[in-house]
Amino acid sequence: MTRRWLFGLITFALTVGLASAQSLDSGNAELRAIARGISAARIRADIHHLVGFGTRSSLSDPSGANGRGVGAARDWIAAQFRADRRADGGRLQVRLDAFTQPPGPRVPQATTMSDVIAVLPGTDPNDHRIFVVGGHYDSRASNILDPTVAAPGANDDGSGTSVVLECARVLSQYRFPATIEFIAFEGEEQGLDGSRHAAQEAKQAGQEIVAMLNNDIVGGDNTPGHANTDRLRVFSEGVSPAIDAAGLRRLAATGGEDDSPSREIARFASALAASYLPDFHVVLEYRRDRYLRGGDHISFNDAGYPAVRFTDFFENYNHQHQTVRVANGVQYGDLPQFTTPSYTADVARVNALALAALALAPPAPAHAYFLPRLETGTSLRWDAVPGAVAYRILLRPTAAPQWTERRTVHGTQAHLDESKDNYFIGIAAVGAGGLESPPTLPSLPPFRRRPAAPAAH
Interacting residues with Zn ion (CB under 5 A): 156-157, 216
Tell me whether residue 157 or residue 302 sits nearer to Zn ion (CB atom).
Answer: 157
Size of the chain, expressed as the number of residues it contains: 457
Minimum separation from the CB atom of position 33 to Zn ion (A) = 31
**CB 426 within 8 Å of CB 364:** no
Distance CA 195, CA 154 (A): 20
Tell me whether residue 43 or residue 414 sits nearer to Zn ion (CB atom).
Answer: 43
Q: For residue 358, give the 3-state DSSP assignment.
A: helix
Minimum separation from the CB atom of position 188 to Zn ion (A) = 5
Minimum separation from the CB atom of position 401 to Zn ion (A) = 26
Tell me whether residue 28 or residue 161 sits nearer to Zn ion (CB atom).
Answer: 161
Distance CA 300, CA 213 (A): 10
Tell me whether residue 188 or residue 259 sits nearer to Zn ion (CB atom).
Answer: 188
Tell me whether residue 49 or residue 293 sits nearer to Zn ion (CB atom).
Answer: 293
Nearest to 420 by CA among 265, 257, 256, 247: 256
**CB 100 within 8 Å of CB 149:** no
Minimum separation from the CB atom of position 233 to Zn ion (A) = 14
Tell me the CA distances in angstroms from 211 to 79, 92, 344, 392, one per residue in order: 26, 19, 21, 20
Minimum separation from the CB atom of position 190 to Zn ion (A) = 11
From the number of C-beta atoms within 10 Å of its C-beta (0-12, 13-18, 19+), residue 45 rates as: middle
First to last CA, the chain: 35
Cβ-based neighbour number of residue 429 at 10 Å: 27
H helix and E strand count, the chain: 11, 17
Residues 6+ apart with CB under 8 A from 29: none
Minimum separation from the CB atom of position 156 to Zn ion (A) = 4
| 387 phi-psi bin (left φ>0, alpha ψ -120 to 50, beta other) | left
Tell me whether residue 137 or residue 424 sits nearer to Zn ion (CB atom).
Answer: 137
Tell me whether residue 158 or residue 261 sits nearer to Zn ion (CB atom).
Answer: 158
Minimum separation from the CB atom of position 381 to Zn ion (A) = 44
Tell me whether residue 195 or residue 379 sits nearer to Zn ion (CB atom).
Answer: 195
Minimum separation from the CB atom of position 367 to Zn ion (A) = 37
